[in-house]
């Protein structure tokens, strides 16, 4: 006998707590770039060794995305969306207490699993249907992530080395708190709709969007992961390095907020292509000027619309499938895993001054694959709710 589950229901508290989870985990994981110089000093690491932190987070976040994608429509939304938050709290405690680099990486791995699970599930809950409301919520969700990513590195930079452990304990408590709010205010199940017809050619476009988001996130995470180290190696203080990272993420959040009214006037295709072009121009600006604070601010601003808008684009051309966000997150975290780690290996030999030109490689690929997707002119399915 087949049981009929109640459909997913999100009240205001569950929506706000989901956005809060993104903000808190955005603040924490985006602080790895600021933690790298601290860990290099604490554990006597070189650039390549310290870069493993990004790979450890990325590969375990992929595992979390797989878990979230497989479970998103099979179990209660409250649990598949919310349990990753206390898991991240556990990982942050372990990082704070870790006496060695290997234990630190174990804590990072635990955070990664929770991160991936929350990323895949909460994104799908808020983006379902591809409606104007979904566009707005996904942009706000990812703006919340970016705003957290502004605050997190500043907190870490101010806490190391003396208050690092205490700050991570506070972070763990916040993870647990917002996770509880989400779980206690979310009900029902996200169901797969097999009745919605897919537009012709959607598989090729979806594949291009998966590749595009992987390379785009390679740009975003490659930049955010190495900005503090890049600034320090150019002769700036650690505080200025943290400030540069904060400006990048503040501009990223601003880009996601400012795009909200434009999302009603322009298609996801137009927004993503325009932003992809502007990212390349911003990298050229950074490479040929000596005002990196301005350059990284501009880069963050033009990066802002890409991720949430590409997510909505994917949902619209692949309607009725609750796994869409999970697939996109898997591709995104794959890019986040590989890009900064490879950059660390290259910069170990060539120096951090090549960072901008390393970022140019995935930026150009991002533009090419999104242009290929746009060329197909696939009809977009938009649900009204």
The Cα 23–Cα 254 span in angstroms is 14
**CATH number, domain 12-375:** 1.20.1250.20
Burial class (CB in 10 A: 0-12, 13-18, 19+), 298: buried
Give φ, ψ of 138 to 5 degrees: -65, -40
Residue 238: predicted pLDDT: 81
pLDDT of residue 194: 54
Taking the domains of the chain in order of start, what are their residue ranges?
12-375
Q: What is the pLDDT of residue 2?
A: 45
Residues 152/26, Cβ–Cβ less than 8 Å? yes
Q: Which two tokens stand for residue 164?
A: 């690092």
Q: Read out DSSP for 354-379?
A: GHHHHHHHHHHHHHHHHHHHHHT-PP
* CB 153 within 8 Å of CB 228: yes
The tokens describing 99, both together, are 């006496």
Q: Cα 283 to the chain's mean position, in Å?
A: 20
pLDDT of residue 380: 61
Contact in structure between 33 and 228 (CB atoms under 8 Å): yes
Q: How far apart are CA 382 and CA 377, in angstroms?
A: 15
Pairing of strands 9-10, 186-187: antiparallel
List average pLDDT for each run of 10 residues in the chain, which is 385 residues long. Answer: 69 94 94 89 90 89 91 88 96 96 97 94 78 78 87 88 94 97 92 60 90 96 91 90 89 89 87 97 96 97 93 83 82 87 91 95 98 82 51
Between CA 46 and CA 335 the distance in angstroms is: 23
Give backbone dihedrals phi and psi of 11, rounded to 5 degrees, phi first: -90, 180
Query: What torsion, rounded to 10 degrees, do the Cα atoms 348, 349, 355, 357 define?
Result: -160
pLDDT of residue 382: 54
Q: What is d(CA 362, CA 357) in angstroms, rounded to the nearest whole number? A: 10
Q: What residues contact 157, with CB distance under 8 A and at least 6 apart?
A: 34, 238, 239, 241, 242
- pTM value? 0.79
């Amino acid at each position: 006998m087949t049981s009929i589950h109640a459909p997913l229901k999100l009240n205001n508290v569950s929506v706000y707590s989901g956005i809060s989870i993104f903000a808190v985990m955005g603040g924490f994981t985006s602080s790895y770039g600021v933690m790298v110089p601290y860990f290099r000093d604490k554990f006597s690491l070189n650039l390549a060794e310290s870069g493993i932190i990004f790979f450890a987070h990325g590969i375990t976040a992929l595992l979390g995305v797989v878990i979230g994608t497989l479970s998103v429509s099979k179990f209660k939304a409250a649990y598949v969306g919310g349990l990753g938050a206390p898991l991240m709290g556990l990982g942050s405690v372990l990082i704070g207490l870790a006496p060695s680099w290997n234990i630190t990486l174990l804590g990072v791995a635990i955070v990664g699993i929770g991160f991936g699970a929350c990323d895949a599930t909460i994104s799908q809950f808020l983006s379902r249907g591809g409606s104007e409301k979904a566009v707005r919520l996904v942009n706000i969700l990812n703006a919340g992530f970016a705003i957290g990513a502004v605050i997190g590195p500043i907190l870490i930079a101010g806490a190391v080395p003396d208050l690092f452990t205490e700050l991570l304990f506070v972070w763990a408590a916040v993870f647990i708190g917002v996770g509880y709010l989400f779980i206690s205010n979310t009900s029902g199940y996200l169901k797969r709709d097999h009745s919605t017809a897919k537009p012709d050619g959607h598989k090729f476009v979806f594949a291009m969007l998966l590749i595009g988001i992987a390379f785009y996130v390679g740009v975003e995470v490659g930049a955010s992961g190495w900005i503090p180290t890049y600034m320090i190696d150019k002769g700036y203080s650690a505080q200025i390095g943290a400030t540069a990272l904060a400006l990048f993420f503040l501009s990223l959040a601003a880009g996601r907020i400012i795009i909200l009214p434009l999302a009603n006037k322009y298609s996801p295709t137009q927004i993503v292509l325009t932003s992809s072009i502007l990212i390349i121009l911003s990298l050229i600006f950074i490479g040929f000027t000596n005002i990196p604070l301005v350059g990284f601010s501009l880069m963050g601003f033009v990066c802002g619309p890409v991720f949430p808008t590409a997510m909505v684009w994917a949902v619209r051309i692949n309607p009725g499938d609750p796994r869409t966000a999970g697939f996109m997150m898997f591709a995104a975290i794959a890019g986040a895993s590989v890009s900064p780690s490879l950059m660390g290996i290259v910069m170990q030999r060539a120096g951090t001054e090549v960072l901008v030109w390393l970022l140019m490689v995935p930026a150009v690929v991002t533009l090419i694959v999104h242009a290929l997707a746009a060329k197909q002119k696939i009809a977009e399915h938009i649900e009204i709710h």
